[in-house]
Amino acid sequence: VEIAPFTLFDDPKNVDSKKIRKIKRVLKKTGLDFVGFHWLFLSPKGLHITTTDLTIRKRSWDHLQRLVDIAGELGGGVLVLGSPKQRNAIGIPPKEALKYLKRGLSKIAQYAVKRNSTILIEALPKKYTNIINTLEESKQLIQSVNKVSINGMFDFHNCADENIPWPELIENNYDIIQHVHLNGVNGCYPSTKNINFIPAFQKLSDKKYNGWISLEIFHKPDNPELILLKTRNFLIEMERKIKLVKEVK
| Domains of the chain with bracketed CATH | 2-248 (3.20.20.150)
Please give the pLDDT value at position 42. Answer: 97
Please give the pLDDT value at position 219. Answer: 79
- CB 29, CB 17: distance < 8 Å: no
Neighbours of 222 (CB within 10 A): 7
Residue 30's nearest CA partner among 190, 225, 237, 214 is 225
Please give the pLDDT value at position 194. Answer: 59
- pLDDT values of the chain reduced to their tens digit, one per residue, 249 residues: 999 999 999 999 999 999 999 999 999 999 999 999 999 999 999 999 999 999 999 999 999 999 999 999 999 999 999 999 999 999 999 999 999 999 999 999 999 999 999 999 999 999 999 999 999 999 999 999 999 999 999 999 999 999 999 999 999 999 999 999 998 777 778 876 657 899 999 999 999 999 999 999 887 888 989 999 999 999 999 999 888 766 656
Global pTM value: 0.94
Helices and strands, number each (H, E), in the chain: 8, 7
The secondary structure element, H or E, covering residue 180 is strand 177-182
Which residues are CB-neighbours of 5 under 8 A, at least 6 positions away? 12, 37, 39, 40, 42, 43, 67, 70
Please give the pLDDT value at position 221. Answer: 83
